[in-house]
Chain A
Amino acid sequence: MTETHFEILRAGTNSSIQDQGRKNLYHIGITISGAMDQKIFKLSNALVNNNLNEGVIEFAYQGPLLKLKNGSANFAITGNVDFNILRKNSIVEKGKCFQSYLLEKDDQLDIVYTKDSVFGYLAIEGGFKIEKVWNSFSVNTKAKIGPNNGEKFSTDEKIYLKKPEANNFEKKNIEYNNSVATTIRTVKGTNFDYFSNEAKNKFFKEEYQVTNLSDRMGMRLEGPKLDNTVNTNIKSEGLVKGVVQVPADGNPIIMFSDHGSIGGYPKIAVVITADHDRAAQLVPGSKIKFKEVDLDEAESLFKNYSKGIKGYLEKIK
């Protein structure tokens, strides 16, 4: 076996390949999937000269331990991630996020954990030798959709790289400030008026805590119960990323990348696109408040968000 590849010595808790996600398949129940934090996913690709939508390895909490077999690779890790490079001469190099590195044959990359955050990304120059399914690399482990049979990576698996050698390696890095969100901005949902005045007030004033029933599908929150005065069920209808649904128990659930395409609980609010990434990074136990903005504000906040990404991309060039 002389092809350049990673041997997975430890898979980590939830490591899978992701990209921007799938399009135009909601109508048969195939959801968007894709990187939970789209911003730092794109930046990981940019740091290794990739197309911004190349497939990368997303990991959550504990990341993988990978050994490079044959060749060499240019990689970058984004997020708030503790990682080490174990060089073959036994030297341990402490890794820095948002910076590209050259990994050589038999070096190991030990992605220890994500600090005060959930998701991190590993991009390799040239990408991985993995076939897209329905035009996307993204894996949806709940629906078993995507490459690798829709499964996350497991120990002893091999991941092949498209580029056998990292020629002309040039270090790239940016200063990135990982901040933890305490406020999540939303616009009113289509069932906002199903809730009592008291519930509407509570939703925007009081704190909600992220529970450990949170994953790529959705994030269950706990806090003041939201009292529904009209109907705790609606006729099932489409969902989108960011929708905040409230089932009859009164606790809100935020929909994320692997959310069901359809749902039947009232939608009290929708997280604005500019805050999807920040919300996805909240660890269980985090306390947040929801803030209401209108559609115009949401659109201009998205422009700022895009400008932010553009600014980083220009610095990387």
Chain B
Amino acid sequence: MIKNISNLGDAALYCDFGREVNEEINSYVISYFNYLKKLVEDKSIQGITNLSPSYNKLIVSFDLSITNFQKIKNKIETIKILNNEKKKSKKIKIPVCCEEKQALDLVPLSKKLKISPEEILNLYFKKEYFCYMTGFIAGMPFLGDIDETIRVDRLKTPRVKVPKGSVGITEQFCNIYTFESPGGWNILGNTPIKIFDKTNLNNPALIKPGDKVSFYKITKEEYLNWND
């Protein structure tokens, strides 16, 4: 449930569902998101321009020339979510190449964690991950939770360009860069497959919140000759 609503600037509401990150809290976020999305689609609420669900927050952006913080807040406070969203989870397997050229941060990470590169990759490949949200850039999945022993912070200064297809980790999470983009995650490899297909206008994102994702290692040859 929403613990607190505050303003993020003058044109967005920041709904806080708590500090923890788990499937339970995340599914409440998704429930509120779906409820509000329906209100927007049915035009039964005016002025909302975007809904942005994440692990434990929901940001509601609005057009300040149509509505304001207090009006949207009043509306959200009347919403009662009775049934928590049941996830329809799909299982997806993603191939990853971890050669030196792709695994940009594997060696420094190994030094930092004092764990061998092989062991970092073993721990990363053996788990199945839950998709909490997609975003940052189009279709980027935020997955968790990675093994406790390989958790690290973001890079101190984010990279100006992370290559498309890079798979990264930070804290308890892992992700996939669907486009070249700035970013601060620790890069362990690169996938040759298309995670976001912009030509598919109705269903562009391969991975959606609630899906289960696992990774498997491929060789340099398989990577270079991949046919999506």
Q: What chain A residues lie within 8 Å of B59 (beta carbons)?
A: 26, 237-240
Assuming the contacts A23-B50, A187-B9, A243-B9, asked whether A145 and B57 have C-beta atoms less than 8 A apart, the reply is: no
User: A23 vs B66: C-alpha distance in the bound complex, in angstroms?
Assistant: 15
Chain A interface residue count: which class? 35 or more
B contact residues around A306 at 8 Å (CB)? 65
CB distance from A190 to the nearest CB of B (A): 5
CB distance from A257 to the nearest CB of B (A): 13
Report Cα–Cα, A270/B12, bound state, in Å: 10
From residue 118 to 168 of chain B, which have CB atoms closer than 8 A to chain A? Answer: 133-140, 142, 153-154, 156-158, 160
CB distance from B2 to the nearest CB of A (A): 14
Give A218's nearest chain B residue, CB to CB: B182
* Interface presence of B14 (CB below 8 A): yes
- Does any Cβ of A come within 8 Å of B170's Cβ? yes
Give a binary string over B164-182; 1 marks a CB under 8 Å from any A CB, 0 the rest: 0000001101000011111
Are B8 and A270 in touch, CB under 8 angstroms?
Answer: yes
Contact between A144 and B179 (Cβ–Cβ < 8 Å)? yes
Q: A247-B184, A271-B9 are in contact. Are A299 and B64 (CB under 8 A)?
A: yes
Q: Is B49 an interface residue (CB 8 A)?
A: yes
Name B135's contact: one of A26, A189, A235, A243 (CB within 8 Å). A26
Q: Which residue of B lies closest to A23 (CB)?
A: B49
CA distance A271 to B196 in the complex (A): 31
Q: Does A312 contact B (CB under 8 A)?
A: no
Chain A, residue nearest B178 (CB): A29
The answer to whether A224 has its CB under 8 Å from any CB of chain B is no
Q: Hey, which chain B residues are within 8 Å of A298, CB to CB?
A: 9-10
A174 within 8 A of B: no
Q: Quick check: B154 and A28 within 8 Å, CB to CB?
A: no
Residues of chain A in range 268-304 having any CB-CB distance to chain B below 8 Å: 270-273, 295, 298-299, 302
- A1-45 CB mask vs B (1 if < 8 Å, else 0) is 000000000000000000000011111111010000000000000
Give A131-145 as 1s and 0s: 1 = Cβ < 8 Å from B's Cβ atoms. Answer: 001100000001111
Measuring CB to CB, which residues of chain A are less than 8 angstroms from any residue of chain B?
A: 23-30, 32, 133-134, 142-145, 150, 187, 189-190, 213, 217, 232-233, 235-240, 242-243, 247-249, 260-265, 267, 270-273, 295, 298-299, 302, 306
A–B complex contacts, Cβ < 8 Å, 9 sampled: A27-B134, A32-B49, A142-B137, A143-B138, A187-B9, A236-B54, A240-B59, A273-B11, A299-B10
